[in-house]
Amino acid sequence: MLLRRTLRSLYPHATVRHGSSVAKPLSKIPYKHRAKAIQQAQEALTDYLHSVKTVPYTFAENISRYSIVSLSTVVSKVTFSASDFSKSLQKFFRYHPVNEFELFFESIGIDVNELDLVLPTGKFFLSEDRNVFNVACVLYEFGIPWNKLGILYKEEKTIFYKDPNELREIWKKYIEYGFTSSSLVGICLVFPRVLNGDSEVEAMVNDLKRVVVDFNLVNDVDGDVDTWIGLCRKIRLFYNLGCKKDGISEMIGRSKTILLEYSEEVFCVVGLLRHFGMDEQRLDIITEKYPYVFGKNRLANLPHVMRALRVNQWFFNNLKDGGLHLLKSYAVINSDEDHDKDFAESLVRIQSSRVTAHTLSKLQFLHSIGFGENGLSPKILNQHTKNLEKKVEFLCKEIEFSLDHLDVFPAYLCFDLEKRIRPRYRFHKWLMETGLCEKEYSLASIIATSERSFIARIYKIHPAAPKKYLEIFLSQDYDGCVEHILTSKFQTEMKQRHKGVQCDENVHPDRISSMLLESGGYNGVVYIGGVWVVVEHIFLLLLLFNLKMSNEDR
């Protein structure tokens, strides 16, 4: 793809994991109304769960906010009407039962493709199995984000069948150990088993207590939940490498800064082994034996890579014997070695060119609206930055689409705003407002259709529509768009290849149209005022004369 989908979706508080799954149920709703339709559906579902099902408002709102795919399926069953869709939704929820578990499980972060694996058999309403929902509410009260509760459910399902009061006691005990709420949330999401509170996890909890509390890591880390999640993932790396659950604190205690300074990015297998002291002869043997393991990999996969190479014990011994500084120094020194260099090399070429500032200003604009630093379209970059800004402004303010529509129709940025996008959109809007056209075409269909097909389409809507479009909506851009004046080089050839109609420049338009019909149709060339004009449609010719007469009257 030329453009990376880095823009947020139409729904700022939702995580849409399967865009295609959302688009299909909403296909009957015009694109420009979808964001509002989803918002109305979320409000209606929240009201239904809170007022009818007596679900506390905060939890009802969380379910509606994070269940976009399942909610879209429900919305597709309601006949859309821009004027009273909200009322239709409220009526639908009250008189048509919906699978509340499906909405609930998606909202806590279970992938929609995995819902069939977790949905309870023969149960439709949350009231039929209240314990799972009650546990989710308690975990949310602890500070665990609602849409991350699915991590706990998938990795440690037994948590959701515990007594909520038992969970409160476990949480209270851990807080008394000295953990902060944020650190405990990060620990629970990375090590869900700690919420079981059994003796098997006691050693792990003690290790984590020494690392986080005794080594004063609590004061070294900001109280951000995501930061703690990342830090706990790094700790988990050592467990996956084979470190005993009661010994990790001693090892990390020698250099706790490694948890704060190195990043969870990618590493080069050969580079890392060489950095840890593996000799070239052994490295060559391993490379030849396991070629499929080498290359670049995520740091989270480090334990699996070492096991696959059968060097996990060697690697762990290096760490245990004081090699933590090697991992730390490798992460710091080589943090950029695995980044994609293609884009950086392209930037170097741009910076060495004569138009550096001009090209980079376009790149900066694309970044500002959310596009990533991957392949870029030359057609887009060949435009002035101001033109791109105007097109985006027109898309957001007048058409009232979000920037997400550029994912669906990226070619929008390639069309001329004044000669194509603005006149066609406004004309289509006028057709809808006047009732001449009942079908609402997509933006891509309005803009990307060729001129000839577009004229033919609106002619079918109404015979006078093309004339209206060309006279009023496109008149300011008439020069060079409607007619094509042939140079003397091609005049003779066109006279021979086309059935032309010669006429004086003062002939009335009605007479012109009759002559065109008599000469074999709408297509051809017409001799007007000493030049030959290519005419693809009769209304183009009528416009030509009407504009000429208007100018002469002035």
Spatial CB neighbours of 130, under 8 Å, sequence gap ≥ 6: none
Q: How far apart are CA 67 and CA 251, in angstroms?
A: 43
Which residue(s) pair with 297 in the sheet? Answer: 267
Whole-structure pTM value: 0.49
Residue type for 356, please? T
Which residue(s) pair with 528 in the sheet? Answer: 503, 531
Q: Where are the alpha helices (DSSP H) in 48-180?
A: 57-65, 68-75, 85-95, 100-107, 115-118, 130-142, 149-155, 164-176
Q: How many other CB atoms sit within 10 Å of the CB of residue 298?
A: 13
From first to last of its 554 residues, the chain has per-residue pLDDT tens of 333 333 333 333 333 334 334 446 677 888 788 888 889 999 999 999 999 999 999 999 999 999 988 998 888 888 888 888 889 998 898 888 889 999 999 999 999 888 888 998 888 899 888 899 999 999 999 999 999 999 999 999 999 999 999 999 999 999 988 888 888 998 899 999 999 877 777 878 887 888 777 777 766 666 678 878 877 887 777 676 666 655 566 666 555 555 655 555 555 677 777 777 788 888 878 877 777 666 666 666 677 777 778 887 787 777 666 555 555 555 433 444 444 444 555 555 555 555 556 666 666 666 555 555 444 445 566 677 888 888 988 998 889 888 877 777 878 888 889 889 999 999 988 888 888 888 888 888 898 888 888 888 888 888 888 888 887 776 654 333 333 332 333 334 334 444 444 444 444 444 544 444 444 444 444 444 444 444 444 444 444 444 444 444 44
Spatial CB neighbours of 97, under 8 Å, sequence gap ≥ 6: 124, 125
Torsion of CA 211, 240, 158, 174, to 10 degrees: 0
Q: Would you tell me the crossing angle of helices 422-434 and 451-461 to the nearest 10 degrees?
A: 10
